[in-house]
Chains A and B, each alone.
Chain A
């Protein structure tokens, strides 16, 4: 899995399918967002779309 450098979403693509930024294979920390509109964690991370995310990407 790779992570988008901007939105942190996990994908197997080399370019993020959502924001078009290049993705990186160097990431850590794992976050699954099921219901962003109800989640305080998603709110803190400014995540608005359900999905799997990395906490840190480099």
Chain B
């Protein structure tokens, strides 16, 4: 069997999933010359289309409102593999670390990590500037690590 290639398609920002769905529909129409479409969260304005022929993709995107272009050079699976297995949002966070809340009602506040929930990718923190330490649970994406441990 012929090997597939992975092509990079530029899309309008925010329309990545939409364009991926259009490729899926088109794939069925053109006898599955597209085998998979990947839209990682970390990439804005780009998706990966796995198929056989760049000319097929070029032809398809001419009729897609939100697809803009396809890059001439394809990418290897090794180059995009990290997108397939996104790291946990709490991967770099440990108990005792000092973090800054970057979103939500306590945005800008500094806090100490007291508990980590790996399954939910949530952490529980106590605000540093609060008289009474009230535990607050937030998503891992909502904090930025400032210091490894309080006394380091």
Interfacial residues, chain A to chain B (CB-CB below 8 A): 28-36, 38-42, 44-45, 52, 55-56, 58
Given A35-B32, A40-B4, A41-B6, residue A30 in contact with residue B83 (CB < 8 A): no
> In the complex the two chains form, is A34's CB within 8 Å of B24's CB?
yes
> In the complex the two chains form, is A44's CB within 8 Å of B84's CB?
yes
Given A29-B83, A30-B16, residue A58 in contact with residue B121 (CB < 8 A): yes
Which residue of B is nearest A43, CB measured?
B77
> In the complex the two chains form, is B35's CB within 8 Å of A35's CB?
yes
Nearest chain B CB to A17's CB is how many angstroms away?
A: 19
Could you list 30 A-B pairs, sorted by A, with CB under 8 Å?
A28-B41, A28-B86, A29-B38, A29-B39, A29-B83, A30-B17, A30-B41, A31-B36, A32-B23, A32-B24, A33-B35, A33-B36, A34-B27, A34-B34, A34-B35, A34-B36, A35-B27, A35-B36, A39-B4, A39-B35, A40-B6, A40-B50, A40-B77, A41-B50, A44-B77, A44-B84, A52-B24, A55-B86, A56-B86, A58-B89
> In the complex the two chains form, is B84's CB within 8 Å of A55's CB?
yes
Which residues of B sit under 8 angstroms from A29, Cβ to Cβ? 38-41, 83, 86
Total interface residues on B, using CB and 8 Å?
A: 32
Nearest chain B CB to A5's CB is how many angstroms away?
A: 9
Which residues of A sit under 8 angstroms from B92, Cβ to Cβ? none
Partner pick for B41 among A40, A45, A55, CB 8 A cutoff: A55
10 pairs of A and B residues whose beta carbons are closest in the complex: A35-B35, A39-B36, A30-B39, A39-B35, A28-B41, A32-B37, A34-B27, A38-B35, A41-B36, A32-B24
